[in-house]
Structure 1
Amino acid sequence: MNMTTVTKGLSKFVLRTSVALPLVLAPAVSVSVLEAVGVSASFAQANAQSEEKTRKAPSMRESAFKHLGKAQEAADAGNWQEALAALREMEAGKDKLNAYETAQMYYFYGFVNYSMERYPQAINYYKQVLAQGQENLPVALEVGTLLTIAQLYFVQEDYKQALVYLNKWFALSDDVTADKYALRAQAYHQVGESGKAMADITKAINMYEQEGKTPKENWFQLQRYFYYEDNDYKNVAKVLEKLVKYYPKGEYYKQLAGMYGELKREDDMLHMMEAAYVAGALQKEKELLNMAYLFMGAEMPYKGAKVIDKGIKEKKIERTSKNLESLAQAYQMAQELQKSIPELEAAASMSDKGDLYSRLAGIYLDLDKNEKAVSMGSKALQKGDIKRPDQLYIVLGMANANLKKYDTSLDYLKKALKDKRSEKFARQWISFVENEKNRAEQLAM
């Protein structure tokens, strides 16, 4: 049975921006990157640091504060060129600035260039912040700048450089959250370091679960991807079970059903496929037919028939001879002969072979509808290309015998004699029919 395979595609990165910047340029992450992995930050967010990592940095003087205030006012109004002009005016007196004031100036330069979507320039300015030396920067400013640069490299899709700065941030930060592990996992994945990516995304998920929180959907997706690449279907199934629980979607039902199939958990596969069907996730003809076949294989043929019948009516399953035959078979297995026969007749009329009419002849014979059996048998012979004509000859022989058409019956039964598979049975019926014919002739005398 062809089951839907686990998708391997990963979510694209989504960039969100923050519009506010505090006057004093609080050390912060200046962009929120990778919504897919749950990173959420703004220019106003600062990284809390332990007392052990605080530093004695130079203070900001009033003159520098005024320049930055002017740039801030322009930025708040969205006048980026005016903000740049204020910063250039400040930079013109750079020799009078201390290292901390210079760092804050470059930090604001970075923000303005980022806001203008000039990402390479923004990165260069943020690097100038770090170039002022650790001894001149508060820990929070250094940490925030490192993360900002890493995120901007994500925007540029330069994942190797993003990792360089992200790892520096990890080494210095006291606030490594699950979101950050998920962020780094994405970076490692992009550069092909699957082992490290798997370790980080698992760490992120475990941290959330230990806190009683639901991990992000895309975290599970990434973890599932790595397990699938390792052919670890047991763990793929476990991840998908969580996705079905926390983020119930038809696609996850189908993927989990596929994994249960790989693990030979047939009952679970059936239940999950049924859940996908109920959720409306099975829309393609192949998927719907597979669902029907699963029901039929699990001795629930009537459910299978309803799936096919509904699919045909909704034009999701094509009304072909083969599909109508499957519908008829499902009804027949469910002992619903009255529903089976019309579908099989429709299938037979559309087929270019006589086999389906041959089957119908046998069904009508069993129902003691001998004239219909003869009619269907005749249509079968007209179309030809019958797999077991000997069996049809016996059916026609029996039906004609029941109608007391003994000579016609014997003609068909003698044709069946030519096939060794039916020879014994045909001889028995020939003997019976000849006796019935003789008895009828004697009664008529």
Structure 2
Amino acid sequence: MERICGRILAAGAVAMLVLAVAPDSPHGILPGVAYAADAPPRLDGFPPTPIQTEDMERRRVPNMSETTYRKFGQAQELIDPCPEDPDNCEVPRDPDGALVILHEMLERSSRYNGNELGQVHQMLAVIYYNDKDDTPNTLHHYEQLLAQVPEITEALEQGTLKTLSQLHLQEENFDTALEYMKRWFAISYNPGPSEYILVGQIHFQRKDFPAAAQALEAAITLAQSRELTVRENWWAMLNYAHFEMENYDRVIEILEILVRDFPKRQYWIQLAGVYGQEGFEREQLMAFEAAHVAGFLDKESDVMTFGGLLMQNEVPWRGAKYMQVGLDSELVERTPRNLQQIGQAYQLAQEVDSAIGIFEEAGSKSDDGEIYDRLSSLYLEKDEFSKCRTAAERAMDKGGIKKLYNVEIVLGMCQFNLDELREARATFVKARRTAREAEESSAERITQQWIRYIDNESKRRAELEAAGI
């Protein structure tokens, strides 16, 4: 919280602190006070907002005597010896001297009326907060200031309630902070957005996100109706509250406002994430595209996510090239997982040579047989049967393959094309058994066809050999 500074005027205007504690009197509808039916938003559990009428009787407070005024002047001069030019003041401040004067006044408290005592406690609270960093004494004197009601002005009472609320929020006394704001709303005629924001912050710290959202929504609505600026952190807090409540439709609405009015990386990434979570895949891609154009994708996770989205949306070549740039610039680490994703993008883009190079590197760094499974298929596609056989065998050695019968089928095909008919048949027999155990009838049918074909080919060759051909 900002330090309190500035002149403390002994006769009336008093510098207010902005924070909170809760007196003993109950909050709620006050006797003799009118309340508005269509006033600023009323929060759950809070009293209605009173309305101000022309014939309303103002609170009368006792005057300050000339002697008291002089005492305040002495204390003020010790706190602020050069009010006209504090930056070039050569007279040292003496807050301890001011404390002596003010405590002497309290020792003779019977001489002073409530208004005068209120000013004493207010000045003491400011000194203890600003100069002594003494929160307990600060709270004590603000509480004593409130004890002078009704002999202090409504404005001073309201300001002190809000100050105590903020102080208790700072001290993590959240329930007490909330009670002070309830008292503030009960006597304040025209609450503004900042008061609703304070209530929202208190509920936010209490992890009461529905109540926090209600207060924050009220603050924003009120600010908009009065054509006041809605601050970025108001939207950010409201977004967090709705996210915690899993109100994702509202989260999207708020994030769309944030990326429009306060375009930052975090909001674009969050928006893209929620779009994806809610199944809006096109919008998710567009959000990442906008973040990319704005230069916000500066983390490895950003690059790999955007590249993956491009793959999913049938532009794998662009995804592969985008991730490759991240790899070459060392923004993306050459981990097996990253390399495998880039290799998949190249494979989908039918960039076989590029895919093979990436998968070879990934395979050398991983114990995952899936990588060599992909490599074996790529080598088969290029008619590099020896390399295909080696990759398939490595895949099975490393293990972890989800569909083992597939790599066994590829191995059998490579062996067949290397004219290793006996080995190929044995591999297909094994693949047939694996497919049957996995209840994959189509794969089992393929293996059976290959076995039959190899048997026929072996028979044909034997007949040719017997015929001397």
Distance 1:20 1:376, change over 3 A: same
Do residues 159 (structure 1) and 163 (structure 2) align? no
Aligned ranges 1:51-200 → 2 under 5 Å: 52=56, 54-77=58-81, 78-115=93-130, 116-134=132-150, 136-191=151-206, 193-200=208-215
Query: In 2, distance between residues paired with 1:132 and 1:187?
Result: 27
Query: In 1, distance between residues paired with 2:394 and 2:63?
Result: 102
**Offset of 1:232 from its aligned partner?**
1.7
Amino acid at match of 1:377: R
Distance 1:364 1:133, change over 3 A: closer
1:21 aligns to what? 7
Distance 1:377 1:211, change over 3 A: same
**Any idea what the Cα deviations from partners look like across 1:405-442, whole Å, max 9, x if unmatched?**
xxx35445544563453332454477579879999999
**Any idea what the Cα deviations from partners look like across 1:223-245, whole Å, max 9, x if unmatched?**
22332333222112222222222
Do residues 397 (structure 1) and 416 (structure 2) align? yes
Query: In 2, distance between residues paired with 1:153 and 1:231?
Result: 29
Gaps of 5+ in 2: 21-51, 82-92, 433-443
Query: In 2, distance between residues paired with 1:309 and 1:230?
Result: 39
- Residue 133 of structure 1 aligns to a residue whose secondary structure is coil
- Residue 58 of structure 1 aligns to a residue whose secondary structure is coil
Distance 1:149 1:383, change over 3 A: closer
Distance 1:99 1:347, change over 3 A: closer
Query: In 1, distance between residues paired with 2:212 and 2:374?
Result: 59
Query: In 2, distance between residues paired with 1:265 and 1:236?
Result: 14
1:30 aligns to what? 16
- Preserved CA contact (<8 Å) 1:288 1:311: yes
Match of 1:295 among 304, 310, 316: 310
Distance 1:213 1:245, change over 3 A: farther
TM-score by length of 1: 0.77
TM-score by length of 2: 0.73
Query: In 2, distance between residues paired with 1:140 and 1:383?
Result: 78
Amino acid at match of 2:257: K
**Offset of 1:69 from its aligned partner?**
0.6
- Preserved CA contact (<8 Å) 1:251 1:281: no
Equivalent pairs, count: 403
Distance 1:226 1:350, change over 3 A: closer
**Offset of 1:322 from its aligned partner?**
4.9
1:10 aligns to what? none
Amino acid at match of 1:229: E
- Residue 16 of structure 1 aligns to a residue whose secondary structure is coil
1:248 aligns to what? 263
Percent of aligned positions that are identical: 29
Distance 1:161 1:21, change over 3 A: farther
Query: In 1, distance between residues paired with 2:355 and 2:373?
Result: 15
Distance 1:261 1:325, change over 3 A: closer
Aligned ranges 1:37-52 → 2 under 5 Å: 52=56
- Preserved CA contact (<8 Å) 2:128 2:137: yes
Aligned ranges 1:230-379 → 2 under 5 Å: 230-276=245-291, 279-281=295-297, 283-284=299-300, 288-315=303-330, 317-350=332-365, 360=375, 362-367=377-382, 370=383, 372-378=384-390
- Preserved CA contact (<8 Å) 2:181 2:199: yes
Match of 2:236 among 214, 218, 221: 221
**Offset of 1:380 from its aligned partner?**
4.2
Gaps of 5+ in 1: 1-14, 35-48, 401-407
Query: In 2, distance between residues paired with 1:200 and 1:114?
Result: 28
Do residues 424 (structure 1) and 424 (structure 2) align? no
Query: In 2, distance between residues paired with 1:153 and 1:277?
Result: 43
Q: Over the residues paired in the alignment, what is the CA RMSD in angstroms?
A: 3.6
Distance 1:376 1:436, change over 3 A: same
**Offset of 1:113 from its aligned partner?**
1.9
Amino acid at match of 1:254: I
Query: In 1, distance between residues paired with 2:321 and 2:121?
Result: 69
2:84 aligns to what? none
Query: In 2, distance between residues paired with 1:333 and 1:69?
Result: 82
Distance 1:251 1:433, change over 3 A: farther
Distance 1:212 1:92, change over 3 A: closer
Q: Name which of structure 1's ranges 337-346 and 413-422 shifts more when overlaid on structure 2.
A: 413-422
Distance 1:123 1:417, change over 3 A: closer
- Residue 59 of structure 2 aligns to a residue whose secondary structure is coil
- Preserved CA contact (<8 Å) 1:362 1:395: no
Distance 1:16 1:53, change over 3 A: farther
**Offset of 1:364 from its aligned partner?**
4.5
- Preserved CA contact (<8 Å) 1:416 1:423: no
- Preserved CA contact (<8 Å) 2:210 2:245: no
Query: In 2, distance between residues paired with 1:194 and 1:329?
Result: 42
Distance 1:379 1:94, change over 3 A: closer
2:36 aligns to what? none
- Residue 122 of structure 1 aligns to a residue whose secondary structure is helix
- Residue 190 of structure 2 aligns to a residue whose secondary structure is coil
Query: In 2, distance between residues paired with 1:353 and 1:132?
Result: 76
**Offset of 1:331 from its aligned partner?**
0.9
**Offset of 1:104 from its aligned partner?**
1.8
Distance 1:58 1:268, change over 3 A: same
Query: In 1, distance between residues paired with 2:428 and 2:106?
Result: 108
